[in-house]
Homo-oligomer: A and B are copies of this chain.
């Protein structure tokens, strides 16, 4: 039953994981998701929030639900392999939620790589896969090396190619993970200088954009959020600033693996879509699984033994800080900004879930 939002209850708050899981299950259930699919998505978004990656966390409850209402996400849609070999798969995700298709693709590549050493799956008709690092992390948790890329539909192409002044690429993230005897090494990075959401936040806070991140609509560097948003709108630069041809090159690789390889053009209008490519390498075919784990342990110890530079307190491996935040928030709870919480409560009213 929908109730009135009590504005006095809308403030910055810290919630327990259990409460936020229940909220998610109810919201997704209210728009027709089967419980098993809702659970995959909820766990994924809560995990991202636990890791401190809030932009890919619980705040996405709203958009993920709205996309069902908009008809862009189709809960219950089957995840179908449309082309397959012993070590490859093209997976039609049927515009179910991205994490539903992506978690299935993790199973596919892990099963195939366990037998066939290497495995690669690409998706078609996939929605937002949420935290890219999640999928490679799961591959590493099974003792293998994981690599993933994701592109976005044309409307998300806010990033210019090197030397250009019109968007042609999305933030096109890539991720890898490798097993250790403890938590895996996980890198999850965009190939652009900054996210548009971050620029919007800076504008609201009346702050400048860091230098070398964006250009205005005339292609000139700017740090002014208003010059970025225009109109006419500016653009985001590829990762690397003065060496941005490298970030551009990486973004092109992501585009080719996530879209071209799956047979999907990059320059056509389509519903929201993350092209997603996932690769698993089974170390048993190389140095052996245990030796691989030992060597990544040794590498981690060697790298983190470097004395910290001024301004740093320690050297950590990729992913370490996220795992630390996960442990902390698991105990202390997940903070949500008033605005995020308001949107969740309002969405609850809209879909008939009483969550205040």
A176 interface hit (Cβ, 8 Å): yes
A222-B242 Cα distance, complex, nearest whole Å: 17
Which one, B118, B242, B246, contacts A87 given CB within 8 A?
Answer: B118
A234 CB to nearest B CB, Å = 11
A93 CB to nearest B CB, Å = 15
A42 interface hit (Cβ, 8 Å): no
Residue among A248, A265, A306 having the largest count of chain B Cβ atoms under 10 Å? A306
Q: Mark out the residues of chain A between 202 and 239 whose CB falls within 8 Å of any chain B CB in the assembled complex.
A: 210, 215, 218-220, 239
| A219 lies within 8 A of B309 (CB) | yes
A85-B118 Cα distance, complex, nearest whole Å: 10
Which one, B167, B243, B245, contacts A193 given CB within 8 A?
Answer: B243
Given the known interface contacts A87-B87, A265-B295, the answer about A164 and B312 at a Cβ–Cβ threshold of 8 Å is yes
A183 interface hit (Cβ, 8 Å): no
| A88 lies within 8 A of B306 (CB) | no
A217 CB to nearest B CB, Å = 11
A287 interface hit (Cβ, 8 Å): yes
A227 CB to nearest B CB, Å = 14
Q: How many residues on A have C-beta within 8 angstroms of the other chain's C-beta atoms?
A: 85
Closest to A283 in B: B261
In terms of DSSP, what is the predominant structure of the interface of chain A?
mixed
Q: Mark out the residues of chain A between 259 and 310 whose CB falls within 8 Å of any chain B CB in the assembled complex.
A: 259-267, 281, 283, 285-288, 291-292, 295-296, 298-299, 302-304, 306-310
A90 interface hit (Cβ, 8 Å): yes
| A302 lies within 8 A of B242 (CB) | no
Given the known interface contacts A166-B307, A315-B163, the answer about A296 and B260 at a Cβ–Cβ threshold of 8 Å is yes
A257 interface hit (Cβ, 8 Å): yes
Contacts of A259 in B (CB 8 A): 295, 299
Contacts of A218 in B (CB 8 A): 310
A163-B311 Cα distance, complex, nearest whole Å: 8
